[in-house]
Copies of this chain bind each other. A is one copy, B any other.
Amino acid sequence: MTADPGDGSGSSGVRTGERDALRRLARLLPPAPGGEVWFGDDAAVVGVPGTDGLLLLAADAVVAGLDADLELTSLADLGWKAMAVNLSDIAAMGGRPRHALVSVVGLRPDEIEALYAGVVEAAEAYACPVVGGDLSGGAQAVVSVAITGWCDGPPVLRRGARPGDSIWVTGPLGAAAAGLRWLQATPKVELANGVPAAALVRAHARPRPALAAGEVARRLGATAMIDVSDGFVADLTSLAEASGVGFALTEVPVAEGATLEEALAGGDDYVLVFTLPSGADALVPFAERGVSAPYRVGSCLGDPGQRLLAGRAVAVAGWEHQL
Protein backbone atom coordinates (compact mmCIF):
# COMPACT_ATOMS: atom_id res chain seq x y z
CA MET A 1 0.00 0.00 0.00
CA THR A 2 1.23 3.46 -0.76
CA ALA A 3 0.38 6.72 0.92
CA ASP A 4 -1.10 8.06 -2.27
CA PRO A 5 -4.54 9.57 -1.73
CA GLY A 6 -6.16 8.20 -4.86
CA ASP A 7 -9.84 7.52 -5.03
CA GLY A 8 -9.83 4.25 -6.93
CA SER A 9 -12.87 3.31 -8.83
CA GLY A 10 -14.49 1.83 -11.87
CA SER A 11 -14.65 2.71 -15.44
CA SER A 12 -17.44 4.94 -16.50
CA GLY A 13 -14.79 7.52 -15.87
CA VAL A 14 -13.57 7.83 -12.32
CA ARG A 15 -10.32 6.02 -11.66
CA THR A 16 -7.47 6.84 -9.33
CA GLY A 17 -5.64 9.83 -10.76
CA GLU A 18 -8.33 10.53 -13.34
CA ARG A 19 -10.38 12.18 -10.67
CA ASP A 20 -9.09 15.73 -10.85
CA ALA A 21 -9.32 15.70 -14.62
CA LEU A 22 -12.90 14.47 -14.45
CA ARG A 23 -13.83 17.05 -11.85
CA ARG A 24 -12.65 19.74 -14.25
CA LEU A 25 -14.54 18.13 -17.13
CA ALA A 26 -17.70 17.95 -15.05
CA ARG A 27 -17.93 21.74 -15.22
CA LEU A 28 -18.26 21.46 -19.00
CA LEU A 29 -20.98 18.83 -18.95
CA PRO A 30 -24.70 19.36 -18.42
CA PRO A 31 -26.39 17.69 -15.43
CA ALA A 32 -28.31 14.45 -15.90
CA PRO A 33 -32.10 14.67 -15.89
CA GLY A 34 -34.00 13.12 -12.97
CA GLY A 35 -33.78 9.35 -12.80
CA GLU A 36 -30.64 9.21 -14.91
CA VAL A 37 -26.98 9.03 -13.87
CA TRP A 38 -24.25 10.49 -16.06
CA PHE A 39 -20.60 9.94 -15.02
CA GLY A 40 -19.46 9.15 -11.52
CA ASP A 41 -20.75 5.60 -11.19
CA ASP A 42 -19.64 2.28 -12.64
CA ALA A 43 -22.01 2.81 -15.58
CA ALA A 44 -24.25 5.60 -16.80
CA VAL A 45 -28.01 5.05 -16.41
CA VAL A 46 -30.29 6.42 -19.14
CA GLY A 47 -33.91 6.02 -20.17
CA VAL A 48 -35.21 4.48 -23.38
CA PRO A 49 -38.27 5.72 -25.32
CA GLY A 50 -41.40 3.64 -24.76
CA THR A 51 -40.29 1.57 -21.77
CA ASP A 52 -39.66 1.95 -18.05
CA GLY A 53 -36.49 -0.17 -18.20
CA LEU A 54 -33.14 1.54 -17.85
CA LEU A 55 -30.21 1.26 -20.21
CA LEU A 56 -26.73 1.04 -18.68
CA LEU A 57 -23.76 2.40 -20.64
CA ALA A 58 -20.08 2.04 -19.78
CA ALA A 59 -16.77 2.28 -21.60
CA ASP A 60 -13.29 1.33 -20.54
CA ALA A 61 -10.06 1.25 -22.50
CA VAL A 62 -7.25 -1.21 -21.81
CA VAL A 63 -3.82 0.11 -22.83
CA ALA A 64 -0.95 -2.31 -23.47
CA GLY A 65 2.00 -1.52 -21.25
CA LEU A 66 -0.20 0.24 -18.67
CA ASP A 67 -3.17 -1.98 -17.93
CA ALA A 68 -1.54 -5.16 -19.19
CA ASP A 69 2.02 -6.28 -19.80
CA LEU A 70 2.06 -8.10 -23.14
CA GLU A 71 5.23 -9.88 -22.00
CA LEU A 72 3.16 -11.57 -19.31
CA THR A 73 -0.33 -11.53 -20.83
CA SER A 74 -1.44 -13.21 -24.04
CA LEU A 75 -3.49 -11.24 -26.55
CA ALA A 76 -6.42 -13.58 -25.89
CA ASP A 77 -6.16 -12.74 -22.19
CA LEU A 78 -6.02 -9.03 -23.05
CA GLY A 79 -9.21 -9.43 -25.09
CA TRP A 80 -10.91 -11.27 -22.23
CA LYS A 81 -9.81 -8.60 -19.77
CA ALA A 82 -11.04 -5.72 -21.95
CA MET A 83 -14.48 -7.35 -21.98
CA ALA A 84 -14.36 -8.38 -18.30
CA VAL A 85 -13.66 -4.89 -16.93
CA ASN A 86 -16.70 -3.58 -18.81
CA LEU A 87 -18.92 -6.53 -17.87
CA SER A 88 -17.92 -5.89 -14.26
CA ASP A 89 -19.22 -2.32 -14.55
CA ILE A 90 -22.63 -3.69 -15.52
CA ALA A 91 -22.42 -6.20 -12.64
CA ALA A 92 -21.71 -3.35 -10.21
CA MET A 93 -25.06 -1.75 -11.11
CA GLY A 94 -26.94 -5.03 -10.66
CA GLY A 95 -27.68 -5.14 -14.40
CA ARG A 96 -27.47 -7.67 -17.19
CA PRO A 97 -25.09 -7.09 -20.10
CA ARG A 98 -26.63 -6.73 -23.55
CA HIS A 99 -24.13 -5.81 -26.26
CA ALA A 100 -20.51 -4.74 -26.67
CA LEU A 101 -18.62 -2.59 -29.18
CA VAL A 102 -14.89 -3.25 -29.48
CA SER A 103 -12.43 -0.75 -30.99
CA VAL A 104 -8.87 -1.96 -31.52
CA VAL A 105 -5.94 0.36 -32.21
CA GLY A 106 -2.35 -0.60 -32.96
CA LEU A 107 -2.50 -4.34 -33.58
CA ARG A 108 -1.75 -6.27 -36.79
CA PRO A 109 -4.51 -8.41 -38.33
CA ASP A 110 -3.11 -11.67 -36.88
CA GLU A 111 -2.82 -10.03 -33.47
CA ILE A 112 -6.38 -8.73 -33.72
CA GLU A 113 -7.57 -12.26 -34.41
CA ALA A 114 -5.69 -13.56 -31.35
CA LEU A 115 -7.19 -10.77 -29.23
CA TYR A 116 -10.69 -11.51 -30.52
CA ALA A 117 -10.41 -15.15 -29.43
CA GLY A 118 -10.49 -13.91 -25.84
CA VAL A 119 -13.07 -11.21 -26.60
CA VAL A 120 -15.45 -13.79 -28.04
CA GLU A 121 -14.87 -16.23 -25.17
CA ALA A 122 -15.95 -13.56 -22.69
CA ALA A 123 -18.85 -12.48 -24.90
CA GLU A 124 -20.13 -16.06 -24.97
CA ALA A 125 -19.49 -16.74 -21.29
CA TYR A 126 -21.57 -13.72 -20.26
CA ALA A 127 -24.13 -13.60 -23.11
CA CYS A 128 -22.92 -10.21 -24.32
CA PRO A 129 -22.35 -10.42 -28.09
CA VAL A 130 -19.95 -8.05 -29.82
CA VAL A 131 -22.08 -6.22 -32.40
CA GLY A 132 -19.69 -3.64 -33.80
CA GLY A 133 -16.50 -1.72 -33.40
CA ASP A 134 -13.59 -0.29 -35.23
CA LEU A 135 -10.06 -1.27 -36.28
CA SER A 136 -7.28 1.23 -36.70
CA GLY A 137 -3.52 1.48 -36.88
CA GLY A 138 -1.49 3.11 -34.11
CA ALA A 139 1.79 3.10 -32.23
CA GLN A 140 0.44 1.39 -29.09
CA ALA A 141 -2.16 -1.31 -28.60
CA VAL A 142 -5.40 0.11 -27.16
CA VAL A 143 -8.58 -1.94 -26.80
CA SER A 144 -11.60 0.26 -26.10
CA VAL A 145 -14.79 -1.55 -25.19
CA ALA A 146 -18.17 0.09 -24.77
CA ILE A 147 -20.96 -1.98 -23.27
CA THR A 148 -24.71 -1.73 -22.84
CA GLY A 149 -26.65 -3.37 -20.06
CA TRP A 150 -30.22 -3.51 -18.88
CA CYS A 151 -32.01 -3.13 -15.56
CA ASP A 152 -35.71 -3.84 -15.14
CA GLY A 153 -35.65 -1.88 -11.89
CA PRO A 154 -33.53 0.90 -10.38
CA PRO A 155 -29.83 0.01 -10.56
CA VAL A 156 -27.65 0.07 -7.47
CA LEU A 157 -25.58 3.25 -7.33
CA ARG A 158 -22.47 4.03 -5.32
CA ARG A 159 -24.15 6.72 -3.32
CA GLY A 160 -26.91 4.96 -1.38
CA ALA A 161 -25.05 3.51 1.63
CA ARG A 162 -26.24 4.73 5.07
CA PRO A 163 -24.62 4.62 8.51
CA GLY A 164 -25.24 1.20 10.04
CA ASP A 165 -25.48 -0.60 6.71
CA SER A 166 -23.49 -3.83 6.59
CA ILE A 167 -20.67 -4.14 4.02
CA TRP A 168 -20.19 -7.30 1.94
CA VAL A 169 -17.82 -8.56 -0.74
CA THR A 170 -18.82 -11.24 -3.23
CA GLY A 171 -15.54 -13.18 -3.10
CA PRO A 172 -12.07 -13.38 -1.60
CA LEU A 173 -9.60 -10.63 -2.48
CA GLY A 174 -6.05 -10.41 -3.75
CA ALA A 175 -5.83 -13.42 -6.06
CA ALA A 176 -5.26 -11.34 -9.20
CA ALA A 177 -2.44 -9.38 -7.57
CA ALA A 178 -0.87 -12.59 -6.27
CA GLY A 179 -1.04 -14.05 -9.78
CA LEU A 180 0.69 -11.01 -11.20
CA ARG A 181 3.33 -11.26 -8.47
CA TRP A 182 4.03 -14.84 -9.50
CA LEU A 183 4.22 -13.91 -13.19
CA GLN A 184 6.70 -11.13 -12.42
CA ALA A 185 8.83 -13.23 -10.04
CA THR A 186 12.24 -14.50 -11.18
CA PRO A 187 12.87 -17.30 -10.47
CA LYS A 188 9.37 -18.70 -10.01
CA VAL A 189 8.90 -19.76 -6.42
CA GLU A 190 5.99 -21.48 -4.78
CA LEU A 191 3.46 -19.07 -3.38
CA ALA A 192 2.33 -19.10 0.21
CA ASN A 193 0.24 -21.99 1.52
CA GLY A 194 1.14 -24.28 -1.39
CA VAL A 195 -1.60 -22.75 -3.54
CA PRO A 196 -1.10 -23.73 -7.20
CA ALA A 197 0.20 -20.77 -9.17
CA ALA A 198 -2.10 -21.62 -12.07
CA ALA A 199 -5.23 -20.66 -10.13
CA LEU A 200 -3.78 -17.29 -9.16
CA VAL A 201 -2.43 -16.59 -12.64
CA ARG A 202 -5.88 -17.40 -13.98
CA ALA A 203 -7.43 -14.92 -11.53
CA HIS A 204 -5.10 -12.28 -12.98
CA ALA A 205 -5.42 -13.26 -16.64
CA ARG A 206 -9.11 -14.17 -16.75
CA PRO A 207 -10.98 -12.11 -14.16
CA ARG A 208 -14.60 -13.20 -13.81
CA PRO A 209 -17.17 -10.39 -13.53
CA ALA A 210 -19.65 -11.10 -10.73
CA LEU A 211 -22.80 -10.68 -12.81
CA ALA A 212 -24.99 -13.18 -10.99
CA ALA A 213 -23.95 -11.83 -7.59
CA GLY A 214 -24.61 -8.25 -8.66
CA GLU A 215 -28.12 -9.05 -9.77
CA VAL A 216 -28.91 -10.94 -6.56
CA ALA A 217 -27.54 -8.06 -4.48
CA ARG A 218 -29.76 -5.61 -6.36
CA ARG A 219 -32.89 -7.72 -5.91
CA LEU A 220 -31.99 -8.09 -2.26
CA GLY A 221 -32.12 -4.31 -1.81
CA ALA A 222 -28.42 -3.45 -1.79
CA THR A 223 -28.11 0.25 -0.94
CA ALA A 224 -24.78 0.81 -2.77
CA MET A 225 -22.40 -1.24 -4.89
CA ILE A 226 -19.04 -0.91 -6.70
CA ASP A 227 -16.63 -3.33 -8.31
CA VAL A 228 -13.08 -3.87 -7.07
CA SER A 229 -10.94 -2.77 -9.99
CA ASP A 230 -8.32 -0.53 -8.39
CA GLY A 231 -8.08 -2.12 -4.95
CA PHE A 232 -10.56 -3.08 -2.26
CA VAL A 233 -9.91 -0.16 0.12
CA ALA A 234 -9.68 2.35 -2.74
CA ASP A 235 -12.97 1.20 -4.28
CA LEU A 236 -14.75 0.94 -0.92
CA THR A 237 -13.54 4.49 -0.22
CA SER A 238 -15.12 5.64 -3.49
CA LEU A 239 -18.41 4.09 -2.43
CA ALA A 240 -18.12 5.61 1.05
CA GLU A 241 -17.29 9.07 -0.31
CA ALA A 242 -20.19 8.94 -2.78
CA SER A 243 -22.50 7.92 0.06
CA GLY A 244 -21.11 10.33 2.65
CA VAL A 245 -20.30 7.59 5.17
CA GLY A 246 -17.23 6.14 6.84
CA PHE A 247 -16.57 2.45 7.34
CA ALA A 248 -15.23 -0.02 9.87
CA LEU A 249 -13.82 -3.26 8.45
CA THR A 250 -13.82 -6.16 10.86
CA GLU A 251 -12.40 -8.81 8.55
CA VAL A 252 -11.03 -9.16 5.04
CA PRO A 253 -11.36 -12.40 3.07
CA VAL A 254 -7.87 -12.94 1.67
CA ALA A 255 -7.67 -15.28 -1.32
CA GLU A 256 -5.53 -18.38 -0.78
CA GLY A 257 -1.98 -17.57 -1.83
CA ALA A 258 -2.45 -13.80 -1.58
CA THR A 259 -1.15 -11.45 1.11
CA LEU A 260 -3.28 -9.10 3.19
CA GLU A 261 -1.72 -6.18 1.33
CA GLU A 262 -2.73 -7.70 -2.01
CA ALA A 263 -6.25 -8.20 -0.70
CA LEU A 264 -6.52 -4.60 0.47
CA ALA A 265 -4.83 -2.79 -2.41
CA GLY A 266 -4.13 -5.26 -5.20
CA GLY A 267 -6.90 -4.37 -7.60
CA ASP A 268 -8.19 -6.22 -10.65
CA ASP A 269 -10.20 -8.65 -8.52
CA TYR A 270 -13.58 -7.66 -10.03
CA VAL A 271 -15.49 -8.92 -7.05
CA LEU A 272 -18.28 -6.58 -5.91
CA VAL A 273 -18.54 -4.59 -2.70
CA PHE A 274 -22.12 -3.90 -1.66
CA THR A 275 -23.98 -2.60 1.35
CA LEU A 276 -27.24 -3.84 2.90
CA PRO A 277 -29.57 -2.14 5.33
CA SER A 278 -28.86 -2.95 8.96
CA GLY A 279 -30.36 -6.31 9.87
CA ALA A 280 -30.58 -7.66 6.32
CA ASP A 281 -28.65 -10.82 5.57
CA ALA A 282 -27.19 -11.88 2.22
CA LEU A 283 -26.11 -15.48 2.91
CA VAL A 284 -29.46 -17.23 2.55
CA PRO A 285 -30.68 -15.32 -0.54
CA PHE A 286 -27.36 -15.89 -2.31
CA ALA A 287 -27.44 -19.61 -1.45
CA GLU A 288 -31.06 -19.90 -2.64
CA ARG A 289 -30.03 -18.52 -6.02
CA GLY A 290 -26.98 -20.76 -6.28
CA VAL A 291 -24.48 -17.91 -6.04
CA SER A 292 -21.30 -18.29 -3.95
CA ALA A 293 -21.75 -16.94 -0.44
CA PRO A 294 -20.59 -13.34 0.02
CA TYR A 295 -18.47 -12.24 2.96
CA ARG A 296 -19.64 -9.76 5.55
CA VAL A 297 -16.65 -7.50 6.13
CA GLY A 298 -17.85 -4.60 8.23
CA SER A 299 -20.32 -1.76 8.48
CA CYS A 300 -20.82 1.86 7.49
CA LEU A 301 -20.17 4.67 9.97
CA GLY A 302 -21.83 8.04 10.32
CA ASP A 303 -18.52 9.93 10.31
CA PRO A 304 -17.25 10.07 6.70
CA GLY A 305 -13.74 10.72 7.99
CA GLN A 306 -13.55 7.37 9.80
CA ARG A 307 -12.07 4.57 7.72
CA LEU A 308 -11.10 1.75 10.02
CA LEU A 309 -9.62 -1.72 9.66
CA ALA A 310 -9.71 -3.74 12.90
CA GLY A 311 -10.17 -0.47 14.75
CA ARG A 312 -7.20 1.37 13.18
CA ALA A 313 -7.20 4.00 10.43
CA VAL A 314 -6.60 2.51 7.02
CA ALA A 315 -4.80 4.37 4.23
CA VAL A 316 -6.37 4.49 0.81
CA ALA A 317 -4.23 2.90 -1.85
CA GLY A 318 -4.74 1.30 -5.18
CA TRP A 319 -3.88 1.31 -8.80
CA GLU A 320 -3.07 4.81 -9.99
CA HIS A 321 -3.73 5.80 -13.59
CA GLN A 322 -1.27 8.45 -14.77
CA LEU A 323 -2.60 10.99 -17.26
Smallest Cβ distance from A239 to chain B, in angstroms?
18
Q: Cβ of A34 < 8 Å from any Cβ of B?
A: no
Give complex CA distance A132, B26 in Å.
Answer: 11
Q: Cβ of A148 < 8 Å from any Cβ of B?
A: yes
Chain A residues numbered 130-160 whose CB sits less than 8 Å from any CB in chain B? 130-140, 142, 144, 146, 148, 150, 152
Is A57 within 8 A of B15, CB to CB? Answer: no
Q: Cβ of A125 < 8 Å from any Cβ of B?
A: no
Chain A residues numbered 38-64 whose CB sits less than 8 Å from any CB in chain B? 38-39, 43-44, 46, 48-53, 55, 57-61, 63
Q: Cβ of A24 < 8 Å from any Cβ of B?
A: yes
Q: List 27 A-B contacts (CB under 8 A).
A: A12-B101, A12-B134, A18-B135, A20-B109, A21-B112, A21-B113, A25-B112, A28-B116, A28-B120, A29-B129, A29-B130, A32-B131, A39-B131, A39-B133, A44-B131, A48-B48, A50-B51, A57-B132, A58-B132, A107-B323, A108-B323, A134-B144, A136-B323, A137-B322, A138-B140, A139-B139, A146-B146
Residues of A that sit less than 8 Å from B by CB: 11-13, 15, 18, 20-22, 24-25, 28-30, 32, 36, 38-39, 43-44, 46, 48-53, 55, 57-61, 63, 65-67, 98-99, 101-103, 105-109, 112-113, 116-117, 120, 124, 129-140, 142, 144, 146, 148, 150, 152, 321-323
